[in-house]
Chain A
Amino acid sequence: MNIYLPIAEQPINAFIVLGIGWLVGIIMGMVGIGGGFLLTPLMIFFGIPSPVAVASVANQLVAPSVSGVLSHWKSGNVDFKMGTILLVGGVIGSSIGVLIFNILNAIGQLDLVIKLSYVIFLAIIGSLMFIESFKLIIQTKRGKATRGKLHQHNWLHGLPLKTRFRKSKLYISIILPLIIGVIVGILAALMGIGGGFIIVPAMIYLLGMPTSLVIGTSLFQIIFVAANTTILQASQNQTVDIVLALILLIGSVIGVQIGSKFSNLMKGEHLRLFLSFIILLVGFKLILDLVTIPLDIFSISVIQ
């Protein structure tokens, strides 16, 4: 069934988009990471202009994040104080991100920068995930168990403005979570992603937060970052396609719930290995589009 997207100004097959949202949602639910970094490139492959894809995926991101926070909140796994500091940084970051977005749009290089950022990120995440899960599989076969890194005191703990985070049992400077928030905010605005793959390791290894609190707290901050990005993109660039976002989010929220129910069916490392292949494949397709000679070196676009 074709549905006309009012902002992208083109018809799209609603069932296919719903299905993509659903599949990405299932992966999100099973692995426990956001799917923005897969949804945006897939929408670009479907012919949605990249600025609209980024802004609409950021819009849909609000839904699975709320849904996730509610479940984590029930189990007491959200550090709201830490989350608030992260989100202050995130809101600043996403505002900076939208500003960069506008500048790139004005000089006509937005599409290229979005695609290039994706190539870099997908390559990094994909290969890291591949190596990590591959190692784990080898190690479990050999029967060796590894210990996770313990957090160590370093120069980061000497920063000023120290605050006590009771929930996380931490006494650290608020500067670091603020900076992490800003970086994640910029990424959300430019790429339409929640940045879970950056914020989660940063919270564990740099801030030293307990692993149980990390996902809930990062989802809490992502709600506000995604909401801020959506409102800024909508009001400054009119790039948020609410119909596209709605179809994607219905698919993904259902997928996430199903995925999280079945997350114990498959071994985490096997799932991650599989996901790393998908990520590398999507990245490879993006880079291929950038390096192969275009059918026509000239292209046209309707402008105001």
Chain B
Amino acid sequence: MRTLIKNILLIIIIALNSFTVFAKDNLVTDLSESTVEISSTFSGADILLFGAYDGQKNDDIIVVVSGQKGNIKVDKKEKKFGIWMITESIKFSNVPKYYYIASNRKIEEITNKSEIKKRKLDFNNFELKNNKIDYKNIDKKWYEALKRNMKKKQFWKIEENSIKLNKNTLFRKTLSLPSNVSTGMYNVKILHYRKGNLISQEESKIKIDKTGISANIYNVAQNFSAIYGIIAVIVALFFGWFTNFIFRRI
């Protein structure tokens, strides 16, 4: 059923595209879902991004998905008294908590260095701040550690050669969000390159939100934390009494 809907949407897009072939905007894209709900059985999500573009031979498509920005603490451990303990920490702020780059071939081959820097097509050009000194002057190993760990947790990810282009008009890409993805508005940017120059771009948003019991629990815990604690105790009291009640009868 979902595949059917996707296919119908694709056909509509192609049709729309053929009507707007003379329009200024020659890139049309859509997402299979614009909201992702983290429910109590959430284990990651796959979103299909598909689009049509007015392409020529050797045109390129790059997709960048970026999440909310936030603070990330990097801890460094050292061996003291035989035990590995945290001895130094640096707090980075303005860090994208999710950043995903996909393209049809190596980004270095698609465009030049200044364009990569301008459009943030790698992980080295974020405008980060840290609580020690300016990020530019900080010992590089701290930023490398941040990058390495963000990649390991799949929060930052790059997949070159992963977008399949079809007859210079269609492309599709499955965006896989990990189960521990953070909530917020995600920005999906689709860039269309020709001979290293950006000729058109499109932007979409994905809203990632907690829903259901899981979201309610989280909200109560954050906003009415004392009441939450009391409820937690009452629930435990009830179950303690209840099992005693049941097992007395057996």
Contact = CB atoms under 8 A, between A and B. Distances in A.
Interface string B67-81: 000111111111100
B235 A4 contact: no
A6 B43 contact: no
B15 interface: no
Contact of A6 (B74, B82, B215): B215
Interface stretch (A61-69, A124-132, A272-280): A61-69
B215 to A, nearest CB: 7
A240 B43 contact: no
Contacts of A296: 145, 148-149, 152
A249 B236 contact: yes
Contacts of A2: 41, 43
Interface in A210-257: 223, 226-227, 230-236, 238, 240, 242-243, 245-246, 249-250, 253-254, 256-257
Interface string B220-238: 0110011011111101110
Interface stretch (A32-40, A89-97, A286-294): A286-294
B225 A235 contact: yes
B240 A298 contact: no
A161 interface: no
B125 interface: no
B232 A109 contact: no
Contact of B218 (A6, A64, A301): A6
A77 interface: no
Interface residues of A, number: 60
A242 B232 contact: yes
B77 A301 contact: no
Nearest to B83: A290
B86 A109 contact: yes
A288 B244 CA distance: 39
B150 interface: yes
4 smallest CB-CB distances across A and B, nearest first, come from: A66-B240, A234-B229, A298-B145, A62-B236
Interface of B: 38-43, 70-79, 82-86, 89, 91, 97, 141-142, 145-146, 148-150, 152-153, 179-180, 182, 210, 213-215, 217-218, 221-222, 225-226, 228-233, 235-237, 239-241, 243-244, 247
Interface of A: 1-4, 6-7, 9-11, 59-67, 70-71, 108-109, 112, 116, 223, 226-227, 230-236, 238, 240, 242-243, 245-246, 249-250, 253-254, 256-257, 290-294, 296-304
18 contacts: A4-B39, A4-B42, A64-B240, A67-B243, A67-B244, A70-B244, A112-B86, A233-B229, A234-B228, A238-B222, A240-B221, A242-B228, A257-B247, A297-B77, A297-B84, A300-B146, A301-B73, A302-B73
